[in-house]
Amino acid sequence: MEALEILLKHRTIRKYKSETVPDNLMEKLLKAGIRASTTGNMQVYSIIHTSDPQIKQKLAPAHFNQPMVLQAPHILTFCADFNRFKRWCCQRNAEPGYDNFLSFMTAAIDALLVAQNVAVAAESEGLGICYLGTTLYNADAIIEILKLPRGVVPITTLTLGWPAEQPEQVERLPLDAVVHDQVYRDYTPESIDRYYSEKEHLEANQKFVQENKKTSLAQVFTDIRYKKADNEYFTEKLLAVLKNQGYINTSL
């Protein structure tokens, strides 16, 4: 199918058939993945492909037991990875200088561009995917389960398989809410009202507010889904991971 059509049709798939993806198809998806742009062609990422039910069982709690982790036949964990590159440098009489936060971001960007390529490739072959944002929350546990050495940090995860559902496409803000012409023009109370109006008036979102006994949709986000205390707790955990994995040094 045309690439643009694939992108426009994207839906997150959370229910999968049990059939696995044939090895040659998986290879095709991953090969398309690694054609993504990468800083200086360093390819400072790794992809862990997990299908073993026992390892998936261990990963599930790290992803807050979201059912996709056990149900999807394939789990792809995309990691920032300077470990391989550093080993190469050391073997070639070159002194790597990548134990810093900029290098972490460089590697994280690499990993994410590959992940999105794999997502698009998968959808173009009729497969479904779901991103797991929990990857950064419990990076410490994932590091242990997937045996990630120093220099390797999991950034995001895709669950992958043949769709067993056909969900409606979810809404997005109007395009001009997120695109700025020439420079950023900051929002006004009026433009915020206008841009969020459609989202707030959707029946599903209004139901969401009622069910959670809140007075606004925004409160569902701040009080339930993405709470300050949780964000701060997982921030501390993530910063500890970056220190342990060698991307933040003591000067912070």
194 contacts a copy of itself (rule: CB under 8 A): no
Number of residues that bind a copy of itself (CB under 8 A): 124
Residues 56 to 75 in contact with a copy of itself, rule: CB under 8 A: none
Residue 58 in tokens: 């261990």
Give me the count of residues in the chain.
252
22 contacts a copy of itself (rule: CB under 8 A): no
202 contacts a copy of itself (rule: CB under 8 A): no
Among 156, 157, 159, 245, binds a copy of itself (CB under 8 A): 156
Rounded least distance, CB 164 to a copy of itself, Å:
19
Q: Which long-range CB contacts under 8 A does 61-67 form with residues at least 24 apart?
A: 61/141, 62/134, 62/138, 62/141, 62/142, 62/145, 63/132, 63/134, 63/135, 63/138, 63/157, 64/134, 64/137, 64/138, 66/14, 66/132, 66/134, 67/14
117 contacts a copy of itself (rule: CB under 8 A): yes
Residue 242 in tokens: 């970056």
Task: Classify residue 136 as left (phi > 0), alpha (psi -120 to 50) or beta.
Answer: alpha
Residues 77 to 96 in contact with a copy of itself, rule: CB under 8 A: 79, 81, 83-85, 87-89, 91-96
207 contacts a copy of itself (rule: CB under 8 A): no
215 contacts a copy of itself (rule: CB under 8 A): yes
Rounded least distance, CB 74 to a copy of itself, Å:
11
